[in-house]
Each structure stands twice: as structure tokens, then as C-alpha cells.
Amino acid sequence: MEKGTIPVEDRRLIIIKRIIYSLKKFVYNIFGWKIVIKDINEIPPEVVINSILFAAHEEYSDKRKKVTLTKAVKLLVRSMEEIEYQRISYGCFKHGEFSFKVYNITKPIFITRSLHGANINKNIVDFDIVEMVRPIVASLKPIMTTSWKRFFKYAHGDRISSEYQTLYKWHDAFHNIVGVASECKKEDIKIFYDIFSDTITNLDSTLNHVDEEYLHFYFNYMDLLEGVLMVSKNRNTNFFHVKEILSDFNKMYEDEISTFICPFLLTLKGDDIEYEKDAYTANAQRKIGNLSLKFQTLKEKATRYNLIPTLEDMDLEIEKSLNEMNEEERKEIFNLLKSC
């Protein structure tokens, strides 16, 4: 059977449910009644999620291939917010608004990479919910089916409170640069130390909210990365080794480091906050358990590839930096050192 097509049995069930819904709506229209869903917060999350995804699957048609699991979670969270469904909670995570419960229910539905081949449970689809959310999923279609750049502008800008927009701005900038660096050409590798230094400084300034339990992982990671980039800038290094280790840095940031700097626990909304707190803590502990070993392995690789800066490397970098300063800037640095 072609991906995205609906089995005959499911099509029959959908037709029957739609006939019932249409008759119900017809009768209500005759008498001027309004279809009102029973207390929506009595409906299980699985029913609501499958119903919203069913509505999106129909509404997005051939564009549904662009709706990945990451986008679907945002679509579901926004739709539930709009219909005032409170049985899930969500907060700001790596890619914007996120709910562990929504993710855990939705992931098995996404048996392929996109909504196109999603295994929606037609047996529990509620057509009252489908009709209620249809205008919502339609309004979100330009965002959910667009490029990642536009989607992240929505997810990391429009939907993030002003308090944390600067964090997401520099989080995105860093993630983009580390990805570009891991794929760059040999002649370009030397430029990244200065680019990273400015970006890291700006990202550092947005982390006042981060728990001390996690912050030292971030700083250890950044110190090692800046050291590798300093060596790459000032020495004739093995380019393939540098690219390999930068690829490792990229993956570690995506998989572990970025999860600790996002204000998930501080931004939780909804009536299921305890579930999300427990899920986040369990997720964080798993990552911490892996991170120490991964970081040690990465540091050993940097040492083996001779990418750890020596005192001479650091002196050379300081000398270069001083030479690039004007007289007033140098005086300011020297006065600062004297006062220490």
C-alpha cells in the first residue's frame, strides 16, 4: 500500500463517522442549535492528538510531506492552546514550545519522516474536534509547510516570550555556525575562531536562568571548542581531524548541551506540569549520565589529534589580539589587569 493512503476498512469507518457527524450538524442547523463539545478536558490526549493530526493530514494535502515530527509537536501544542485543552503542559525547549507527553504520543504515529505517512488512529478520531481545529490548522499551514528558516522564526521568535528571545537568537546563531564549521572548506577553517568567540560571548550573557547543576557542562564544552578553534587558526592542523571533531561538537550541542540551556521548567503552562517536570528531569539525568563519558572521549580525541592549545598558542593569540587593538583599548586592558 502506498504511504499516506488509507486502508479500505479505515475509509469505511471515516465515512460512517462523517455521515453521523453531518446528520448531527444538519439537525442542529434546523433547530438553530450550536454543536458544543462536552467538556473537552474530559477527552483523553490520544483522541485530541489523533483528531488534530487527522485534520492537518487532510488540510495540508500534498504539503503534508513538509510536516516533520518537530513541526507536528508545535502544531499540536498551538492547536490545543487555541481550543483551551488543558490536559497537556508545555514549555520552551530546544526547538521552541515542547511537551514530552505530546511528543511521546505523537512519535509512534510518525512511522515515516513526515505527516504524509503518519499512522493516525482513525478509530478514535473525534470529528467534532476535527471541525473545531480545522480553521486553526489551516491558519498554521503557511508556517508548518514552509522552510525551516521561516518555521524557526515562528517557533523561536513569535512564540517565545520576549524574556527569552535573545537566548534563542544566539542559540540559533551558535547552532548554525557550528554546523557550517563542521562542513567548511580547508581554506575557511581559520576564520571560525573569531566568529565563534563573539557568538559564544553573546550566548553566555543569556544564561542567567540556567541551573548550576547544568551550567558547568556548557562552559566545559565551550572552553574545549574554543581551544580547538584557536589551534586551527594558528597552526597547520590536519583538516580532516578538525572537521571530524567539529562534527562531534555539533552533535553534542544538538543532543545534549542545548537541552540544558533552554528554560523548559521556567515556562511550563497547563494542568499537567508535574508530568512534564518528571519527564524533563528523567531526560536530563539520562543525558548527564552519557555526557561526562562523551565529553571525556571528545577531549581525548582532541588531545590525540594535537588540537589542545599550549601556553604558546594562548600567548600568540593574546599578542595578536593586542596588536589588533587601538591604543585606548590596550590602555583599558592594562588598567584592568593592574586592578586584578
Per-residue pLDDT reduced to its tens digit, 86-145: 999 999 999 999 999 999 999 999 999 999 999 999 999 998 999 899 999 999 999 999
Which of 146-155, 295-304, 320-329 has the lowest average pLDDT? 320-329
Q: Kindly report the average pLDDT of the chain as a whole number.
A: 87
The Cα-based distances of 151 to 62, 111, 137, 155, 277 in angstroms read 18, 22, 15, 6, 26
pLDDT category of residue 20 using cuts at 50, 70 and 90: low
Q: How are the residues of the chain apportioned to helix, strand and coil, as percentages rounded to the nearest 5?
A: 75, 0, 25
> Looking at the predicted structure, is the pLDDT value of residue 290 above 90?
no
pLDDT tens-digit map of 213-239: 899 999 999 999 999 999 998 888 999
The C-alpha atoms of residue 91 and residue 322 are separated, in whole angstroms, by: 44
d(CA 167, CA 164): 5
Q: Say which amino acid occupies 107.
A: K
Has residue 273 got a pLDDT over 60? yes
Cα 259 to Cα 253: distance, rounded to the nearest angstrom: 8
Which of the pair, 321 or 126, is modelled with greater confidence?
126
- Beta strand 96-98 pairing with 91-93: antiparallel
Closest CA to 197 of 165, 231, 234, 223: 223
Q: What is the pLDDT of residue 187?
A: 87
Q: pTM of the prediction?
A: 0.82
- Which tops the pLDDT comparison, 28 or 151? 151
